[in-house]
């Protein structure tokens, strides 16, 4: 008998695009509409914050929402996916305008977080990294030396 995959293992993003392809398509989209003039980093950051607000409205008044969104209608799921996409698109455009290699920055940040939150020390805890005391720093240094 093959064990069924957990919900975390069963879900995957499609491989239909890359962040680079999104970046390029967004640049073309803005160029075709002569919107590049409006896409200063500040403007993009503020527009993204507005979209994050719209994303949060999808969850407003729902209490805790379980993984997989049980009980959500197709309309609610579609609305959520559109708001998530808006945030991602603004984030990609902002990173382009700031000349930040977003995939590289994300991987670098994940590596930093792994050092700040050594799995052996923080497993099952939601405390912030500075609440672990000096053992966190020495554990992170020891894992980095491996």
CB contact at 8 A, 19 and 103: yes
Query: Whole-prediction pTM value?
Result: 0.81
| Token pair of 96 as six digits | 């382009």
| DSSP per-residue letters across 92-110 | HHHHHHTT--HHHHHHHHH
Q: Who wins on pLDDT, 6 or 132?
A: 132
State the chain's maximal CA–CA distance in angstroms. 59
Q: What is the pLDDT of residues 4-44, one digit of tens each?
A: 455 556 889 999 999 999 999 999 999 999 999 999 999 99
Q: What is the pLDDT of residues 64-102, one digit of tens each?
A: 999 999 999 999 999 999 999 999 999 999 999 999 999
């Amino acid at each position: 008998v093959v064990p069924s995959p957990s919900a975390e293992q069963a879900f995957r993003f499609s491989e239909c695009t890359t962040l680079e392809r999104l970046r390029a398509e967004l640049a073309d989209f803005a160029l075709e509409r002569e919107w590049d003039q409006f896409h200063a980093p500040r403007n993009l950051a503020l527009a993204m914050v507005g979209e994050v607000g719209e994303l949060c409205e999808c969850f407003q008044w729902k209490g805790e929402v379980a993984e997989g969104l049980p009980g959500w209608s197709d309309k609610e799921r579609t609305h959520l996916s559109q708001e998530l996409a808006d945030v991602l698109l603004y984030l990609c455009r902002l990173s382009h305008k700031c000349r930040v290699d977003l995939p590289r920055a994300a991987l670098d940040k994940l590596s930093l977080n792994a050092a700040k939150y050594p799995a052996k020390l923080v497993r099952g805890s939601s405390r912030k990294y500075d609440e672990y005391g000096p053992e966190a720093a020495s554990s992170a240094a020891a894992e980095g030396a491996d």
